[in-house]
Amino acid sequence: MINGTTKIFGIIGDPVEHSLSPPMFNAAFKSLNLDYAYVPFNVKKQDLKFAIAGAKAFDIKGLNVTIPHKRKVLNEIDKFDIMANLIGAVNTIKFHNGKSYGFNTDCVGAVRAIEEVSNLNDKNVVIVGAGGAARAIAFQVAITNVKNLTIINRSEKKAKSLVYDLKTLLSANFKDNSKLDDITIDFSHIDLNFDYGGIDSIPKHLKNADILIDTTPVGMDPNVDAEPIATANEMHSDLIVNDIVYNPINTCLLKEAKLANATIVSGIKMLLYQGAENFKIWTGLEAPIDLMEKTLLNEINK
Ligand SMILES: NC(=O)c1ccc[n+]([C@@H]2O[C@H](COP(=O)([O-])OP(=O)(O)OC[C@H]3O[C@@H](n4cnc5c(N)ncnc54)[C@H](OP(=O)(O)O)[C@@H]3O)[C@@H](O)[C@H]2O)c1
């Protein structure tokens, strides 16, 4: 029950009506007897500044940030961590002593999802798409010990821009100057080869790929019968196929992956693990992963 001592968390975005985060976090808080509540807030683009100021004024303890605010919110945050700085997007805010601290947990959530089935050491990774989610995932993949990272996108411009940003930052000892702790990431030891190819080059790249991550919205409800970005005969049984679309869980791409006897990683896992990271940032506690996953699946199957 909400009372005078309840700590308030939430999500800001537009739209937020269909967000799965409120049930996921409220179930997690309840299971650990935390006097916390999580609320969705629909915030229009022009109101973002007031929303962050208002959250501080209302003594809200933490917020998730979703489309369309993930990039713009950087301007409203007092400090942010190194991955948020590299990626240029924040999806989690913690408020403490009148200051706002921004984090990006999409990136680590996505990689943790894949690590459930395999480590990324020495792997050939293909990412399809070059939008916001691809950017977060690509930066996190790039700081693991992968052998090769290929970005494939429909439009050349976005792919080139992402590869350029990755190369520029990876070729330097990146010194973050605006984040929470004084951390330097040294990328100089990483041997990465970026390759750019249009959508038609997917089959060629899949031949030697270990991990395929589809970050496009292809197959997302209501377009569940869309043509997948790759078919079973273009895959092989040693491939790990991760579709970050989670509605439906069994996307057109994952159906093809099953036909090819590939290992599949559902998009729900990225949502789950980014949430688990948020939970830790806000509470200092390990998240009740199984319960959170069960809650997400229940919500999707409603
Ligand atoms: N599981 C999770 O936790 C999670 C987290 C974040 C996002 N997502 C999902 O990931 C998807 C992408 O989100 P985003 O924020 O990255 O979107 P975004 O910034 O709009 O990027 C979408 C990317 O997909 C490409 N694309 C779009 N339609 C395509 C099509 N029909 N064929 C081939 N490529 C296509 C776009 O290519 P162009 O550059 O050519 O336009 C662009 O690179 C959404 O479905 C979102 O729900 C899931």
Pair (130, 237) in one structural domain: yes
Residue at 262 is within a domain: yes
Same domain, 112 and 252: yes
Using CB distances shorter than 6 Å, the residues near ligand 1 are: 106, 129-134, 153-155, 158, 199, 215-218, 220, 244-246, 267, 270-271, 274
In the chain, the amino acid numbered 92 is T
Q: DSSP for 28-57, please give it.
A: HHHHTT--EEEEEEE--GGGHHHHHHHHHH
Same domain membership, residue 116 and residue 180: yes
Residue nearest atom 47 of ligand 1, based on CA coordinates: 245
Q: Are residues 246 and 273 in the same domain?
A: no
| Ligand 1 atom at minimum distance from 220 CA | 45
d(Cα 55, Cα 280) in Å, to the nearest integer? 20
Rounded to the nearest whole angstrom, what is the distance from the C-alpha of residue 180 to the centroid of ligand 1? 29
- Tell me what the mean pLDDT of segment 125-137 comes to: 93
Ligand 1 atom showing the smallest separation from residue 135 Cα: 16
Instruction: Tell me how far the alpha carbon of residue 264 lies from the centroid of ligand 1, in angstroms.
Output: 19
CA–centroid distance, 60 to ligand 1, in Å, is: 30
Q: Tell me, what's the pLDDT at 180?
A: 40
Check whether residue 200 and residue 122 sit in a common domain. Answer: yes
- Which pLDDT does position 31 carry in this prediction? 97
The answer to whether residue 282 sits within a structural domain is: yes
Name the residues annotated as catalytic. Answer: 70
Residues 192 and 273 in one domain: no
| Ligand 1 binding pocket mutation candidate from 20, 92, 215 (most atoms within 8 A of CB) | 215
Rounded CA-CA distance 162/151 in Å is: 8
Domain that holds residue 225: 107-266
Is residue 113 domain-shared with residue 216, that is, in the same domain? yes
Best of 87, 107, 154, 277 for a ligand 1 pocket test (most atoms within 8 Å of beta carbon): 154
> Rounded distance, CA 47 to CA 18, Å?
20
Strand positions, DSSP E, the chain: 7-13, 36-42, 62-65, 79-80, 92-96, 99-103, 124-128, 148-152, 173-175, 184-186, 194-197, 211-214, 240-243, 263-265
The rounded Å distance from CA 196 to ligand 1 centre is: 17
| Whether residue 162 sits in one domain with residue 172 | yes
| Secondary structure of residue 212 in the 3-state scheme | strand
Taking CA atoms only, the protein residue closest to ligand 1 atom 18 is: 131
Q: Distance from the CA of 8 to the center of ligand 1, in angstroms?
A: 31
Instruction: Measure the CA–CA gap between 29 and 23, rounded to whole angstroms.
Output: 10
**Do 240 and 129 sit in the same domain of this protein?**
yes
Of the two residues 252 and 201, the one the predictor is more confident about is 252
Q: Is residue 291 part of a domain?
A: yes
If you search the block for the tokens 């729900």, which residue do you land on? 268
pTM exceeds cut of 0.85: yes
Domain count within the chain: 2
Instruction: In whole angstroms, give the CA distance from residue 181 to residue 193.
Output: 30
In a domain? residue 1: no
- Are 241 and 120 in a shared domain? yes
Q: Is residue 2 part of a domain?
A: no
Alpha carbon distance, N-terminus to C-terminus of the chain: 24
11 or 149, higher pLDDT: 11
Same domain, yes or no: 142 and 256: yes
Question: What are the tens digits of pLDDT across the range 174-223?
Answer: 554 444 444 444 444 444 556 666 777 889 889 999 999 999 999 999 99
Residue from 216, 224, 252, 265 whose mutation best tests the ligand 1 pocket (most atoms within 8 A of CB): 216
pLDDT at 184: 45
Ligand 1 atom, smallest distance to 130 CA: 43
State the average pLDDT over residues 65-80.
Answer: 96
* pLDDT score at 195: 61
User: What value does the mean pLDDT of the chain take?
Assistant: 90
Contact (CB, 8 A) for 23 and 39? no
The answer to whether residues 138 and 95 belong to one domain is no
Q: Which CATH number goes with the domain that contains 65?
A: 3.40.50.10860
